[in-house]
């Protein structure tokens, strides 16, 4: 049985590990190639795009894929829609592996927004020293002259490219992060507002607890809507069980 995992996430790597131990299962993980040195999962790995939904459907047919699992980042909306269309074209079962989103706790000062642009518009009323944890993509939303007086600490795995905020310090780092580390980061950089996407999961959640403790507001970008009518799993273990049901 050939399983293609659209990965690049912690959940995708964990699922590849689980399926690598399954007898009679061949696993291929596909990575987008946006990170210079990704953590490679076990099994076969391909890097790069497919050429849209039609290209993915052709790849599924050519490589005799029996099951497709979309374990991409919750904000990789285009890929999720391409996966749904490709699975339908190739008549391949599809499962979406999605970590649950974060839920505000007592004491949180969250400001939900629908986009990075909306997050940028909200900042001047909330703080002057911004911890921006949305990754290196999309920094142009925070590069406008109306935010020139704000200072940004940008954390990402790889160095960002212009356009970027006018006043910016870059911190190259990769989760998981610790609560003590996030507390110290907020203190050392005198952060008074945090911006994050609702990525969910535990690897980057400590920043939310640190902000809560410090009384720092958090601008949370809501997840984009995904394709409807797709089978879903919340954990790699659930996804592995779905594969086993297909095997019978």
- Is pLDDT at 36 greater than 80 in this prediction? no
> Is the same domain home to 186 and 142?
yes
> Is the same domain home to 60 and 72?
yes
For residue 14, what is the enclosing H or E element? helix 10-20
238 in any annotated domain: yes
pTM: 0.88
CATH of the domain at 65: 3.40.50.720
Q: Would you state the pLDDT for residue 167?
A: 97
> Is the same domain home to 188 and 243?
no
84 in any annotated domain: yes
Q: What tens digit of pLDDT does each residue of 38-65 get?
A: 788 999 999 999 999 999 999 999 999 9
Which tokens sit at 100?
């649950």
- Is pLDDT at 107 greater than 90 in this prediction? yes
CATH of the domain at 183: 3.40.50
55 in any annotated domain: yes
Q: Would you state the pLDDT for residue 68?
A: 98
How deeply is 235 buried, as exposed, middle or buried, from its count of CB atoms within 10 A (0-12, 13-18, 19+)?
middle
Peptide bond into 174 cis (omega under 30): no
DSSP code string of 22-53 = STT-EEEEEE-S-SSSPPPPSSEEEES--SHH
DSSP letter at 68 equals E
Q: What tens digit of pLDDT does each residue of 146-196 get?
A: 999 999 999 998 899 899 999 999 999 988 999 999 999 999 999 999 999
153 in any annotated domain: yes
> How many domains, the chain?
2
CA distance 214 to 192: 9
105 in any annotated domain: no
Q: What tens digit of pLDDT does each residue of 62-81 get?
A: 999 999 999 999 998 799 99
> Is the same domain home to 183 and 197?
yes
The whole domain housing 95 covers 2-100+224-247
> Is the same domain home to 158 and 82?
no
> Is the same domain home to 68 and 117?
no
Three-state SS across 75-115?
Answer: CCHHHHHHHHHHHHHHCCCEEEECCCCCCCCCCCCEEEECC
How deeply is 108 buried, as exposed, middle or buried, from its count of CB atoms within 10 A (0-12, 13-18, 19+)?
middle
Q: Would you state the pLDDT for residue 174?
A: 87
């Amino acid at each position: 049985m050939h399983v293609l995992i659209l990965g690049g996430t912690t959940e995708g790597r964990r699922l590849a590990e689980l399926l690598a131990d399954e007898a009679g299962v061949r696993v291929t993980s596909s990575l987008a190639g946006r990170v210079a040195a990704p953590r490679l999962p076990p099994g076969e790995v391909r890097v790069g795009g497919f050429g849209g939904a039609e290209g993915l459907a052709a790849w599924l047919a050519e490589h005799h894929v029996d099951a497709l699992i979309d374990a991409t980042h919750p904000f990789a909306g285009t890929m999720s829609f391409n996966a749904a269309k490709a699975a339908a074209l190739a008549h391949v079962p599809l499962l979406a592996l999605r970590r649950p989103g974060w839920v505000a706790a007592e004491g949180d000062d969250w400001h939900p927004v629908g986009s990075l642009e909306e997050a940028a518009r909200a900042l001047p009323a909330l703080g002057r020293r911004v911890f921006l944890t949305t990754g290196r993509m999309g920094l142009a939303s925070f590069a406008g002259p109306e935010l020139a007086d704000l200072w940004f600490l940008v954390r990402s795995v790889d160095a960002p490219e212009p356009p970027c905020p006018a006043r910016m310090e870059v911190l190259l780092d990769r989760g998981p992060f610790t609560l003590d580390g996030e507390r110290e980061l907020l203190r050392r950089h005198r952060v008074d507002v945090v911006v994050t996407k609702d990525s969910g999961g535990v690897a980057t959640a400590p920043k939310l607890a640190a902000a809560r403790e410090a009384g720092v507001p958090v601008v949370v970008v809501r997840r984009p809507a995904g394709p409807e009518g797709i089978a879903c799993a919340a954990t790699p273990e659930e996804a592995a069980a779905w594969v086993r049901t297909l095997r019978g």
